[in-house]
Amino acid sequence: MIWIAMAVLALTASGIVAASAWKPALVQGPAEDRTLAVLKDQLSEVDRDAERGLLSVAEAHAARQEIKRRVLSVGRVKNTGESNGGGRVILMAAAVFVPLFAAGYYSFAGAPNLSSIAFEDRQAEVAQNREIEALAQKLLQRLQADSEGGALEGWMLLGQTFMKLGRASDAASAYERATQSMNADSAVFSIYAEALIVSEQGIVTPQAKRAIARALELDPTNPAGTFYDAVGLAQAGANEQAYNRLLTRLDEVDGFAPWMETFVAEANRIGAALGRAPISLSDYAPVMSGNSPGPTAADVEAASQMDDVDRDAFIRSMVERLATRLEAEPDDIDGWMRLGRAYRVLGETDLALNAYSRAKELLVPVSSEDPRQSVILQSLEELQSGQ
């Protein structure tokens, strides 16, 4: 019914515009031409009378001005009449084309099949954000009223809330108060540094550098501190030092760590400016190696100690990226096998079965002596039996 109503309104509006445009314009014919000829004769007659002395200079000037004014008036009417045809064509085209274009564009880029639920969801989200902001303000007031400066956990919670609300500057202020606690550890300072960097659109400011230095002083192995230290070095023009900083930290890791993918990506970004060959996560993380079954149970267990955001951002993203690449390059048998092993280690049985099944489909043209045959078939059998 909505579409029908919209169509009727569009057709009605178009009809009104077309009707007004179709009205015949005032056709200017020989009458205007005769009028102009008469006026020109009158102008010549005025000149002749002025020469014979029948009109004074002032009278002749006034008569010429009046005749010229009438000539211009007739000329404007004639030009308007001549241009009406072209304007009428443009108006008619607009009356037909605009509704068709609007309907076509909306059907392509709009959402004609969706109801107003999305708007209701947005309203609910706005209301929820307002409620969270109100709670954050209450927490802030309570922490500020604490004679002992407020609990470390309270300031950290407030900072996390502000970050989720997109208020990085307020989050940095909350984390700064957290760093003043006697119990503030390396993670607190690196989180504070990150908030400062986000609030400055990715720039590592001197204040952020001091927080990074303190984080690394408390724990030299802090990956976030090392990462932002390298970012700061690169922004200062010390690309070589930043690149080596990242690679040194990667070399120190024994096995898989959830932050390694970010390190590899940043090292490749900086390395490109240095003309270095790209490095691969498989050089450091066994999960991406064709000869490794993926991250060990101990690796996954270590990553599980992190919060949900970090775990999703670092562990799952690596596997998801491999899955995305394989959708674009589906003929990579080894890739599907690696994806199956990774999903299997992560406990994603259905996804692992799908990955190994995709690898099995690619075994048809492969020699029966290929060792991958037995690996894939054995893995499928184990997964289907629940082993």
Question: In angstroms, rounded to a whole number, what is the distance separating the alpha carbons of residues 163 and 174?
Answer: 10
pLDDT for 220? 92
pLDDT reported for residue 36: 64
What CA–CA distance (Å, rounded) separates 196 from 206? 10
- The segments of the chain whose pLDDT lies below 50 read 25-28, 83, 113-117, 287-297
Rounded distance, CA 378 to CA 387, Å? 11
Other beta carbons less than 10 A from residue 68's beta carbon: 12
What is the rounded CA–CA span in Å between residue 149 and residue 229?
29
- Do residues 156 and 188 lie in contact, with contact meaning Cβ atoms separated by under 8 Å? yes
Pair 265, 230: CB distance under 8 Å = no
Query: Which residues, 6+ apart, have CB-to-CB distance to 61 below 8 Å?
Result: none
Using the structure block, give the residue that is written with the tokens 């949900």: 308
Per-residue pLDDT reduced to its tens digit, 184-212: 999 999 999 999 999 999 999 999 999 99
Cβ burial of 257 (10 Å; 0-12, 13-18, 19+) is buried
Please state the φ and ψ torsions of residue 125, each to the nearest 5 degrees: -65, -40
What pLDDT is recorded for position 292?
Answer: 43
Closest Cα to residue 171, out of 188, 185, 184, 186? 188
pTM of the model: 0.48
- Residue 26 is predicted with a pLDDT of 46
